[in-house]
Every structure is written in C-alpha cells, then in structure tokens.
C-alpha cells in the first residue's frame, strides 16, 4: 500500500520480499476402505491412532479385514490415516421418545441396539426460569438428555446434554447433538417443534428400539466402485472429499476371503487421477505360480505406475480367536512400513530390505525360495520373505509397471511415489500464481520458490548428481511461456529431476590372487 506523503519527515513502507516457501505434503496418509462395526458410512474420517479407530469404528471385527489392516498399519509405524466405512443392507437403530422426538444411532449397525436414552424434565424453579430466559424459551420446554451405550449400570460411553429443547433456540436438540459420537436427531423429527418428551428411559436392555440396527451383509464390488458411486461420492470415491491421501488400502470384507477382482482396476484408475498409490493384496489361494497369471489377468499393468502388489499374505495371531494364527492381507502392514521409512529416510527411499521389517507377524503365508523370488521379481511382484536373524521383511520395490519386459521409467515404487509427492506439492504450492500478472517478475518468483524446495530435497539425498544442475531444473521463462500462451492466460512451468533408484542387485566380484601377484 502506497504511503500518503503529507508532511516533511521519514516514512516507513513495508515491501513484500517475494519469497514463498514451499512445504512438502505428507507422503504416507493412508486411506482404508472397508466394512466396520460402527461409524458414519461413505464419509472419509481422518484418524491419527488405532485408539481413535476403536472409538469411532469399533476396532477389530471377525467379519471384516479393515480393523486388522488398520491395526497392522499403526503397529508398523503408521501415523495419519483416513477411514471410509462401507455398508451393505445395514440398518440403523432408531429410538422413539413418545413421538415427540426420534433419535437414530450415528451410523448403521447392531451396536446401536445397545443405546439407551434417559429424559429428565428441567423443572420450574428459579434456576430453570433463568436458563429459559437466557435461551428465549419457556421453562416447560427444557429437558435433560442422557445418552448411554451399554447397560446404565456399566455403560461403555455416556453423553449428557442438559437444558435442551425442541423449540427454536441456541440449545435446540439437533444443534446440541451435533458433536455426539452416539446419536443424532432422526430426519423424521420436525424441528423446531413444541413440547418435550415424557420423562423416562428409552431403549436399552429389555426394550427393543423402534427400528433394530443390523450389521448388513458382506460387501460386493457394487459397494466399492459400482453404478453411480463416483457421481454421488460413495464407495472409494468418498475419498474425493478427503483433503489428502497418498496410499490406498482395500482390505477384504472377510479376512479369509479376497476382494472382488473387478475392484482393483477401478481403484487403480481412481488412484491415478488422485495422485495416490494403491497397495494390491493377492488372493488367499494364490501361490508362486498362479500369482503371475492373476496379476496379468486383472489388467493392472496398463495404469500400474500407481500401484504395487505384495505377495504372499501374512500370518499373525488373531486377538479375537485367542491368539490363533490366521492369514491376513498385507496392505496395512506394508503401508505402515512405508510411513515409517518416509519418516526416517524420505519418500525416495525404497520401503524394502532388512530395515523394512514387518512387526506383529509370525511370517508369510508361503515361504518363498530364492528361485521363486527370482521368477516373481521380473514380473513386478514384490515378495514378502523371512530371513534368519532379520525376520519377515519386504523384499521388493517394483510398481505394477515394473516388469522387465515393459522397461518403464517408473519401474520402482520410491521413484513413482517421489514423483507423486512432487506433483501434489507443486500443485498446492503454486495456487497463489493464479490471476497474477503473467510476466518475468512472476516467473522469477516461481523459479526461486520451486528451486529452493528442490534444493532442500537435493541436500537430503532425494536426487542423483553431484551438483544441483545435475539433479534438477526449473524452467519458467519466455521459452516455456510464449506470447501466445500469455494471450490465452497460460503459464507453463517445467520441472525435471533425476531420481535415485534402489540398488536392487548388489554384485560382489571376488578374485583369487597369489602372494606373488600381490607383491
């Protein structure tokens, strides 16, 4: 802002420095989509711990692999996650409070049948009159609402909402329940209303809810990617409402079964458009011979840059079956190792090798030999193996386009994930340039900000090269943006980088020498 010069003297004017620091986006925000005991349906919910998953979605469940995958994710070093709960033919429990108010469980499932609600009238004393005057309502309209999950004498969770009302006001019951983890006002309730529910207990032991909640059936492909789900933002497409996710896991609806094969190709296409990476789980009956045909038969290599398959499944104790050993999809554990590696070394480091140990597992479902590993690796199938003194580790880092015959430039998982990281970061970091004057001052700012960001990554070891000019370049000038582009309102930025690639094959040459030759 220009300073108005009104009198002789010294004036101070602050001038923007023109430097815009770029901060990289998170690299291991993992989205899990599947069936859960409770929680909102078709809504992306961010969590930061397994305890939070238990509170919101009910924790482990025998009839779903979702809880086990999330548990493996946090057990192996995961941090940020986004959960999308899917449901098929599930019903939501409904409590009717004498026709004056209807409450429904916050999410479908049989868990809602354990809800009970206690209604107490606020009374007509001086205190009640004062509260009523503050809200602009009558004292006879106020009531206290206590919601419990489980038996009243030993509830799992209790929520109390004093001095709520059905009439319009700051404590109208639907507004007061906006932050509840248990119930919400059913759509059938007309608000604002009149009166208040009768005192008493509703629901709970010995009293059936007005509508009984059910857990529904096992998921099919239609709940993940079918029909018009993308248009309505349901299924995996509910993640379009998430601020950010970089990894996608689709645990099977039943731990012992597999996901419908048609889902994988649609999920891979979705990840490509969202700049995310898909972790593909093998079917439970796959072996070292059939897994190659399974990957090729699913059509996953066409857009396979944004996905990788990890084989075989993992064996681990099941807490819900007294520690019995069962087989589970590996996606959650692999995503956790990726998050751990990103935090320790960076997204450009392959999440594989002796540092990529899998915690909480007893071993892979199939013990692979070097020969079997050698046959699978050129086919872009990443193996999970157990080595003496090391334990079970991830022993592969190839994308679905990493087969030797394809010779794709994004053969390796860390290279592709680094590219996705750069793309997402730069898209978000250059939003400020929209509608700015498209000329050299803007171009110089862009070169400086992006160049500083890439220089920082170079110092951390993200790129090849001895000097910055060998590792990356940023070009934004009259050559990339011509006058014709300026006239059309187009700004072109060209960014190049030389990614480091993992040392997949370490060759040691040993030569025998005689004493005379060494003299």
Long-range contacts of 482-488 (CB under 8 A, 24+ apart): 486/438, 486/439
Residue 42 counted as domain residue: yes
Q: What is the C-alpha separation between 155 and 412, in angstroms, rounded?
A: 51
Query: Do residue 45 and residue 136 come from a single domain?
Result: no
The string of DSSP letters for 60-104 reads --TT-SHHHHHHHHHHTT---EEEEEE-SS-B--EEEETTTEEEE
Residue 319 counted as domain residue: yes
Residue 140 counted as domain residue: yes
What is the CATH number for 223? 3.40.50.11780
Q: What is the CA radius of gyration of the chain?
A: 29
The confidence score (pLDDT) of residue 205 equals 55
Query: Do residue 439 and residue 490 come from a single domain?
Result: yes
Q: What are the residues whose beta carbons fall under 8 Å from the beta carbon of 474, sequence distance 6 or more?
A: 446, 447, 450, 451, 454, 493, 494, 495
The string of DSSP letters for 274-324 reads HT-EEEEPPPTT--TTHHHHHHHHTT-STTGGGEEEEES-EEEEEGGGTTE
Query: Do residue 507 and residue 410 come from a single domain?
Result: no
Residue 425 counted as domain residue: no
Q: What is the C-alpha separation between 393 and 384, in angstroms, rounded?
A: 6
Residue 148 counted as domain residue: yes
Number of domains in the chain: 3
Q: What is the DSSP letter of 25?
A: P
Query: Do residue 83 and residue 102 come from a single domain?
Result: no
The confidence score (pLDDT) of residue 54 equals 95
Query: Do residue 282 and residue 165 come from a single domain?
Result: no
Query: Do residue 166 and residue 51 come from a single domain?
Result: no
The confidence score (pLDDT) of residue 207 equals 59
The whole-angstrom distance between residue 492's C-alpha and the CA centroid of its chain comes to 31
The confidence score (pLDDT) of residue 517 equals 58
The whole-angstrom distance between residue 414's C-alpha and the CA centroid of its chain comes to 19
CB-based contact 60:67 (threshold 8 Å): yes
* Domain residue limits at 169: 94-203
Query: Do residue 260 and residue 345 come from a single domain?
Result: yes
Final residue of a structural domain among 203, 230, 257:
203
Query: Do residue 42 and residue 106 come from a single domain?
Result: no
Cα dist from 249 to 30, 40, 171, 254, 330, whole Å: 7, 18, 41, 14, 9
CB-based contact 125:73 (threshold 8 Å): no
- Model pTM? 0.91
Query: Do residue 237 and residue 168 come from a single domain?
Result: no
Query: Do residue 197 and residue 117 come from a single domain?
Result: yes
What is the CATH number for 146? 2.60.40
Q: What are the residues whose beta carbons fall under 8 Å from the beta carbon of 234, sequence distance 6 or more?
A: 42
Q: What is the C-alpha separation between 176 and 173, in angstroms, rounded?
A: 5
Q: What is the C-alpha separation between 339 and 49, in angstroms, rounded?
A: 13
The confidence score (pLDDT) of residue 299 equals 79
Query: Do residue 272 and residue 186 come from a single domain?
Result: no
The confidence score (pLDDT) of residue 519 equals 52
Final residue of a structural domain among 174, 203, 232:
203
Cα dist from 39 to 44, 53, 87, 173, whole Å: 11, 10, 10, 21
Strands 381-387 and 391-395: antiparallel
Final residue of a structural domain among 148, 169, 203:
203
Find, among 489, 446, 361, 410, the residue nearest to 71 by Cα. Answer: 361
Residue 7 counted as domain residue: no
CA torsion 103-104-110-113 (nearest 10°) is: 0
Residue 15 counted as domain residue: no
Strands 30-35 and 81-86: parallel
Query: Do residue 148 and residue 262 come from a single domain?
Result: no
pLDDT tens by residue, the chain, 519 residues:
677 888 899 988 888 777 788 999 999 999 999 999 999 999 999 999 999 999 999 999 998 999 999 999 999 999 999 999 999 999 999 988 888 888 999 989 999 988 989 999 877 777 878 888 888 888 888 889 999 988 877 888 899 999 889 888 888 999 999 989 899 998 777 788 888 888 888 886 555 667 888 999 999 999 999 888 999 999 999 999 999 999 999 998 887 778 888 899 999 999 999 999 999 999 999 999 999 889 888 778 878 899 999 999 999 999 999 999 999 999 999 999 999 999 999 999 999 999 999 999 999 999 999 999 999 999 999 999 999 989 999 999 999 999 999 989 999 999 999 999 999 999 999 999 999 999 999 999 999 999 999 999 999 999 999 999 999 999 999 999 999 999 999 999 999 999 998 887 778 888 888 776 555
Residue 37 counted as domain residue: yes
Q: What is the C-alpha separation between 188 and 100, in angstroms, rounded?
A: 11
């Amino acid at each position: 802002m220009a300073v108005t010069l009104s009198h002789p003297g010294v004036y101070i004017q602050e001038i923007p420095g023109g430097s815009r620091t770029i901060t990289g986006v998170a690299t291991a925000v993992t989205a899990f989509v599947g069936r859960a005991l409770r929680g909102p349906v078709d809504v992306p919910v961010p969590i930061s711990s397994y305890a939070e998953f238990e509170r919101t979605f009910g924790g482990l469940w025998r009839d779903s692999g979702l809880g086990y995958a999330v548990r493996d994710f946090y057990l192996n070093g995961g941090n940020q996650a986004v959960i999308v709960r899917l449901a098929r033919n599930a019903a939501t429990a409904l409590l009717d409070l004498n026709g004056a108010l209807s409450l429904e469980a916050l999410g479908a499932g049989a868990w809602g049948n354990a809800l009970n609600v206690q209604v107490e009238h606020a009374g007509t004393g001086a205190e009640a009159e004062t509260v009523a005057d503050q809200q602009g309502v009558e004292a006879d309209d106020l009531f206290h609402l206590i919601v419990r999950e489980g038996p009243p004498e030993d509830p799992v969770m209790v929520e109390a909402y004093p001095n709520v009302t059905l009439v319009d006001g700051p404590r109208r019951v639907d507004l007061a329940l906006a932050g509840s983890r248990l119930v919400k006002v059913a759509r059938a309730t007309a608000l604002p209303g009149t009166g208040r529910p009768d005192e008493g207990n509703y629901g709970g032991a010995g009293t059936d809810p007005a509508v009984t909640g059910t857990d529904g059936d096992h998921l099919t492909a239609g709940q993940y990617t079918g029909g018009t789900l993308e248009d309505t933002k349901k299924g995996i497409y509910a993640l379009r409402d998430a601020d950010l996710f970089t990894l996608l896991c689709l645990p099977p609806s039943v731990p012992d079964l597999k996901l419908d094969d048609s889902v994988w190709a649609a999920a891979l296409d979705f990840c490509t458009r969202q700049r995310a990476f898909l972790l593909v789980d093998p079917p439970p009956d796959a072996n070292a011979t059939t897994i190659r045909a399974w990957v090729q038969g699913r059509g996953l290599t066409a857009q396979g840059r944004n996905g990788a398959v990890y084989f075989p499944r993992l064996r681990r104790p099941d807490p819900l079956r007294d520690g019995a050993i069962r087989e589970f999809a590996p996606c959650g554990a692999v995503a956790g190792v990726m998050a751990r590696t990103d935090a320790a070394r960076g997204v450009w480091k392959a999440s594989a090798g002796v540092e990529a140990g899998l915690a909480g597992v007893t071993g892979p479902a199939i013990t692979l030999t070097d020969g079997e590993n050698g046959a699978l690796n050129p086919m872009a199938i990443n193996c999970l193996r157990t080595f003496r003194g090391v334990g079970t580790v991830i022993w592969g880092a190839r994308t679905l386009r990493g087969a030797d015959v394809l010779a794709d430039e994004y053969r390796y998982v860390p290279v592709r994930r680094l590219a996705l990281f750069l793309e997402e970061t730069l898209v978000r970091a250059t939003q400020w340039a929209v509608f700015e004057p498209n000329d050299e001052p803007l171009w110089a700012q862009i070169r400086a900000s992006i160049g500083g960001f890439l220089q920082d990554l170079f110092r951390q070891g993200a790129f090849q090269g001895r000097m910055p000019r060998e590792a990356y370049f940023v070009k934004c000038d009259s050559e990339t943006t011509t006058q014709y582009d300026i006239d059309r309102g187009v700004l072109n930025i060209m960014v190049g980088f030389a990614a480091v690639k993992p040392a997949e094959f370490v060759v040691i040459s040993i030569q025998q020498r005689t004493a005379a030759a060494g003299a």
